[in-house]
Amino acid sequence: MNVKVLCLLVLFPIAALAQGFAGLGTDADGFAVPQPEPEFNFPADHGPHPDYRIEWWYLTANLQAADGTAYGLQWTLFRSALAPGEGEGWTSPQVWFAHAAVTTPSHHFATERFARGGIGLAGVEHAPFRAWIDEWALEGPDFDTLSLRAQGADFAYDMNLQAQGPLVFHGQRGFSVKSAEGQASYYYSQPFYQIAGTLMLPDGPVDVSGSAWLDREWSSQPLSDTQSGWDWFSLSFEDGNKLMGFQLRQRDGSTYSASTWIGPDGTTTAYPDGAFVADPLTQSRVVGRDVPTTWRVQLADRGVDVEVDAVNPNAWMPLSIPYWEGPVTMSGSHEGVGYLEMTGYE
């Protein structure tokens, strides 16, 4: 037994979210529970909500080098509370961990960090905005102008982000329902970042630029017992429209889906269960398991019928909580790029 196993056990709420362990993370245990009709308060709500069990600052970016090569980048800070509220020093029940990854068409680099809350090693402050763990940080004077850095043993990046549009709210004005039984989270995004900077890879530095998408979500009761995992898409079309859609896979083979159509000006349309349809087309053998890396995605109401292809099918995150996450390209009714996250294929 080593401590990383221990960490996994600790982070069961997150693991439950990612992989749908039955019976875990579904009761609130004194944690606050998301309520419909939320009233957000910015910039304070960019900061942490320690009374909720889990929370994340989840950034993905589709990047391009001068030679046209496509790259993907991920930076995620997770907060997982062992108990609601904050505590002094080491007694803080807040546990922080973070994932960073860079995907190239031929390689996938990923790493993670863990830290205790309360002693200053990790946390989020809303004004000026600063989300950090160790030397990794997403920070800037406000939520619209940010710098980003992270590194692992074989990669690093240093990027600058500038928001070109407003925040968008998913579900019912930010109250995002995750199952027919009513499990929900607070969920908003900033999908309009322009991003540019340098990737440090084993072959040397690469200057890149592109677009980035930041998700903010917090909850205390994320998954239903009957759900085994999810497939999440963030798609940016060439016409300026964007689509966020996810489906939660039920153990009986059915799915629960939700999606948000985002206009170029940030106006949103939320679609209920069933409107967004994602069907796996081909499976790739990734680290000993079959993972669907080509999808047919449809949103009939907007005439979307596209084939989504992974830039690198081997974008497996071999971390304490393993999952697939990587950049994708689209063809069909619409052209564009995006990011795909798939959990529960363990």
Shortest distance, position 153 Cβ to another protein, whole Å = 5
* Span of 4-12, 228-236, 272-280, 286-294 interacting with another protein by CB under 8 A: 4-12
Judge residue 306's burial from the number of C-beta atoms within 10 Å of its C-beta, 0-12 exposed, 13-18 middle, 19 or more buried. buried
Q: Are 303 and 281 in contact (CB under 8 A)?
A: no
Q: How far apart are the first and last CA of the chain?
A: 20
Mind giving me the DSSP string for 115-126? EETTTTSEEEET
Q: Please, which residue, 135 or 238, has the CB nearer to another protein?
A: 135
Which spans in the chain are helix H? Answer: 3-10, 12-19
- Report the C-alpha gap between 235 and 92 in whole angstroms: 38
Part of the chain binding another protein (CB under 8 A), chosen from 5-13, 53-61, 206-214, 334-342:
5-13
- Kindly state whether residue 199 participates in binding another protein, applying the rule CB under 8 A: no
Largest distance between two CA atoms of the chain: 54
Nearer residue to another protein within complex by CB, 151 or 162: 151
Site for another protein in 100-159 (CB under 8 A): 111, 114-116, 119-121, 134-135, 151-156
| 300 touches another protein by CB under 8 A | no
Is residue 91 close enough to count as binding another protein by CB under 8 A? yes
Residue with tokens 């609601």: 84
Task: Say whether residue 9 binds another protein (CB under 8 A).
Answer: yes
Q: Does 3 bind another protein (CB under 8 A)?
A: yes
Q: Is 152 helix (H, G, I), strand (E, B) or coil?
A: coil
Residue number, 9 or 180, with CB nearest to another protein:
9
Torsion of CA 65, 66, 67, 70, to 10 degrees: 20
Q: Which of positions 43-82 make contact with another protein (CB under 8 A)?
A: 82
**305 part of the interface to another protein, by CB under 8 A:** no
Question: Is the CB of 33 or the CB of 137 nearer to another protein?
Answer: 137
| Binding of residue 319 to another protein (CB under 8 A) | no
CB atoms within 10 A of CB 164: 13
Which uninterrupted H or E stretch holds 292?
A: strand 289-299
Q: By the criterion CB under 8 A, which residues form the site for another protein?
A: 1-7, 9-10, 82-83, 87, 89-91, 93, 95, 97, 111, 114-116, 119-121, 134-135, 151-156, 200
